[in-house]
Structure 1
């Protein structure tokens, strides 16, 4: 079967998506190889399915949490979404931003030197 996840978001603790495909029967969402209960698929015509899943609070922890949307009978992964949270992430982001700033400063200096040397 061919599926396409057209749109997705998380709102008020629920993951929502619009799935294009022939059938939503047999779809499942898992986290750390554990199937999550409560996935609802509602047809809205033309082979589109509105998917909704409450995200259990117990799966939200520091770091990156990845969820897989699968066709349960075949085990094929159709899509995934991730939630990133926690204090350790702040340090990672600050480090990345500092690295990006340093690289940008290096590029600015190289560009200015190039302009001076080429007379532009």
Structure 2
């Protein structure tokens, strides 16, 4: 379980923004991993705000993510290995199948669960 919650604030000019917040006084600084097609997204920044326990998260959309199809970004707490949020880009020909984004998200989350399960099996044997 993550010590942080993530709330989207806006998505503008190719940058997704959100606020990470915690109520734990002794929580370590957040370590966030953002993935696209199971690969890390570069340029992600986490900046401490003036309020205690609140951090600004900025996720730039890389140029390779802009094109036909469905692109799902997973935002995870790297310390707890928990998905905090996700966002999806759909561009080009949309064939009326809104389920594509959901299937893409489920696929990405299933991959993350498989990795966590394999790691758990290695650690407990």
Please, what TM-score do these two structures have when normalized by structure 1?
Answer: 0.66
Cα root mean square deviation, aligned:
1.9
- Structure 2 residue aligned with 1:48: 54
Structure 2 unaligned regions, length at least 5: 98-125
- Structure 2 residue aligned with 1:83: 89
- Structure 1 residue aligned with 2:34: 29
Question: Retained in 2: the 8 A contact 1:65–1:84?
Answer: yes
Deviates more, 1:43-52 or 1:28-37: 43-52
Q: How many residues align?
A: 91
Structure 1 unaligned regions, length at least 5: 94-120
1:24 Cα shift?
A: 4.3
Question: Retained in 1: the 8 A contact 2:36–2:74?
Answer: yes
**What is the DSSP-based 3-state SS (H/G/I as helix, E as strand, rest coil) of the residue aligned with 1:42?**
strand
**Greater relative contact order, per chain length (Cα 8 Å cut-off, separation 6+):** 2
In 1, Cα distance between equivalents of 2:8 and 2:31: 20
**From 40, 55, 65, the counterpart of 2:71:** 65
Question: Retained in 2: the 8 A contact 1:24–1:41?
Answer: no
Question: Retained in 2: the 8 A contact 1:61–1:85?
Answer: yes
Please, what TM-score do these two structures have when normalized by structure 2?
Answer: 0.63
Of the two, which has the highest radius of gyration? 1
